[in-house]
Amino acid sequence: MTKLTDLPAWKKLQQHYLDTKDIHMRELFAQDPERYESFSLKFHDILFDYSKNRITQETMDLLLQLAEQADVTGCRERMFSGYPINNTEHRAVMHTALRNKSGEPTYADGERIDEEISTELDRVKLLAEKIRTRQWLGHSNQPITDVVNIGIGGSHLGPLMVTEALHPYSIHDLHIHYVSNIDENHINNTLETLNPDTTLFIIASKSFTTQDTLVNAMTAKDWLMHKLESEENLHKHLVAVTSNVKMAVEFGVAEENIFKMWDWVGGRYSLWSAIGLSIVISIGAEHFDALLEGAHDVDEHFKTAPLAENIPVIMALIGIWYNNFYNSESIAILPYDQNMHRFPAYLQQADMESNGKGCDRSGADVDYSTGPILFGEIGIASQHAFYQLLHQGTKLVPADMLAPISNFNCIATHHRALMSNIFAQTEALMTGKTEQEVKAELQQQGLPDDEIEALLPFKIFPGNRPTNTFLFYTLNPKTLGSLIALYEHKIFVQGIVWNLNSFDQWGVELGKVLAKNILDEINIADPVSNHDSSTNALINYYLSLKPIKDPN
Ligand code: F6P
């Protein structure tokens, strides 16, 4: 297999970068009145405008050649057919099967999986419906009023992000809470307002070995037992989602309250599975189906659209253009929708845990840059916080901006102002403000020449800062499903081009192992000397203050 940097398209892109890097997007727009038409795509109610990028048609042609030479289409085929493309864990990657609405059988590593997916989904919907209609009763025959999802990473961020994003679709007399942090503040703050008689916990952990989740789950169980007294009563307040049924049973969850996950679903791709139980409880089965449908539509688009019209492919290639040729280090995700406030955090795991890797699929070190640093926040809030750096800083930070054209409870004065901001920001980032423009403006304000000269450098905006804009009609379940799937496939395509296994996460292991050893040392509470001098000193300082009394 040819190394990425030896591919003919890669070499041409290097030269093309040198030839075009100094062209300002202003010029590109001025030269081509059809630029928006050439560089925008529509998918159902999602408009994807990528014209405000430092690209020409030649850039796109070369990037598309790169995708072909990296065998994006062959790898895509292998993923959808259930081939074990997660080579370090010998697993297929079949999150797309969880939302497969085609009625066609699906397979993971040769085994048919669609029937058990559908059985499990039905069980999830049944439980959710019982809770939503107050038929699921706690030990004292009172209906459940509060559901607490205990999980972390993919067992937390996806469900939390979707529940928040679809707030207008949620049932309002049921409260869904999310606890992820092992820091006791998280569970303490959550439990202080809850009543054990009317609270149901979902322990969401694919492995059922994650320390953070198990410690929180144990605290929740103790809190319940205090009031409920018997294991039998407990069963009415505890359910689990896991691929490790044995451990969940040992923990005290009744087997009939355990929902299955499979090895072929990665944690960060699992919100479509029973891990989405809290979502189904919040928005109901019909809306959850719409979420799956939106994602499935994108799967079909990704599988069938020509690469040049394939939105996830274009998103991925533009990202590669900046990451590998402009050497930009990061990407900003900026939703102009308050309900999407956890979308950047969700994508952070999806992207950085997938492609934040330094060796390729064969285990060889890569000699090119891989996954970017992804960060983001609500666009409006960020304008008053870090957009300064986006506009005038020394770093090139390509940004994705996303906004709904209308809202569930749209208030025209709010929404028009919101939209004016997203449009203004993408325009300002692209056009900037030249020296002549600033000078003319200050002269018009009647400022003396010496003051104009002094102020000038601070008021210039270089512009030429790239953005993608996604506009969608409203953030309904179907559209959200589509948006998430677009990003999932973008990450997949980038992983293929960078020749990574995007579906393992060995990089999270070392810290886990060290934490376990240090926990043993902290429990013994004798001074330590087996670490580096900083770590020894920090642990010993902590121990010397005897901060916590052992409960036993
Ligand atoms: O530590 C990282 C990780 O393994 C993620 O990949 C995963 O989403 C998260 O922990 C939670 O894992 P689990 O669902 O097995 O508790």
Ligand 1 pocket check for 294: Cβ under 6 Å:
no
Could you tell me the distance, in angstroms and rounded to a whole number, from the CA of residue 503 to the centre of ligand 1? 12
What integer pLDDT is reported at residue 247 of this predicted model?
A: 98
495 pLDDT higher than 80: yes
Output the CA torsion sign for 315, 320, 326, 329.
positive
Could you tell me the distance, in angstroms and rounded to a whole number, from the CA of residue 266 to the centre of ligand 1? 9
546 pLDDT higher than 90: no
Nearest C-alpha to atom 16 of ligand 1 is from which residue? 205
Q: Report the atom number in ligand 1 closest to the C-alpha of 213.
A: 16
551 pLDDT higher than 70: no
Q: Report the atom number in ligand 1 closest to the C-alpha of 275.
A: 14
Q: What whole-number distance in Å separates Cα of residue 356 and Cα of residue 352?
A: 5
Q: What is the mean pLDDT of residues 301-328?
A: 98
Q: What is the mean pLDDT of residues 460-468?
A: 98
**Among all residues, which ones are annotated catalytic?**
353, 384, 512
Q: Where do the H-state alpha helices sit in 181-307?
A: 184-191, 211-228, 231-234, 245-251, 277-283, 285-304
What integer pLDDT is reported at residue 289 of this predicted model?
A: 98
pLDDT tens sequence across 378-399: 999 999 999 999 999 999 999 9
Q: What is the mean pLDDT of residues 103-122?
A: 96
To test the ligand 1 pocket, which listed residue (91, 206, 245) has its Cβ within 8 A of the most ligand atoms?
A: 206
Helices 509-524 and 533-544, axial angle in degrees (round to 10)? 40
pLDDT above 70 as % of the chain: 99
pTM: 0.97
Q: What is the mean pLDDT of residues 45-66?
A: 98
Nearest C-alpha to atom 10 of ligand 1 is from which residue? 153
For residue 408, what pLDDT band results from cuts at 50, 70 and 90?
Answer: confident
Helices 57-69 and 311-320, axial angle in degrees (round to 10)? 100
What integer pLDDT is reported at residue 229 of this predicted model?
A: 80
H/E stretch holding 176 reads: strand 175-179
Q: Report the atom number in ligand 1 closest to the C-alpha of 505.
A: 6
Q: Report the atom number in ligand 1 closest to the C-alpha of 210.
A: 16
Give SS3 for 52: coil
Tokens (6 digits) for 210: 């994650």
Nearest C-alpha to atom 8 of ligand 1 is from which residue? 154
pLDDT tens sequence across 262-304: 999 999 999 999 999 999 999 999 999 999 999 999 999 999 9
What integer pLDDT is reported at residue 1 of this predicted model?
A: 83
What integer pLDDT is reported at residue 549 of this predicted model?
A: 61
To test the ligand 1 pocket, which listed residue (89, 95, 149, 155) has its Cβ within 8 A of the most ligand atoms?
A: 155
Q: What is the mean pLDDT of residues 172-191?
A: 97
CB 132 within 8 A of CB 324: no
Which candidate, 143, 212, 229, 224, places its Cα nearest to that of 178? 212
547 pLDDT higher than 90: no
9 pLDDT higher than 60: yes
Tokens (6 digits) for 537: 């000193």
Ligand 1 pocket check for 159: Cβ under 6 Å:
no
Ligand 1 pocket check for 206: Cβ under 6 Å:
yes
What integer pLDDT is reported at residue 514 of this predicted model?
A: 96
Which candidate, 430, 431, 432, 456, places its Cα nearest to that of 443? 456
State the chain's mean pLDDT as an integer: 97
Ligand 1 pocket check for 404: Cβ under 6 Å:
no
Could you tell me the distance, in angstroms and rounded to a whole number, from the CA of residue 209 to the centre of ligand 1? 9
552 pLDDT higher than 50: no
Could you tell me the distance, in angstroms and rounded to a whole number, from the CA of residue 155 to the centre of ligand 1? 7
Nearest C-alpha to atom 6 of ligand 1 is from which residue? 267
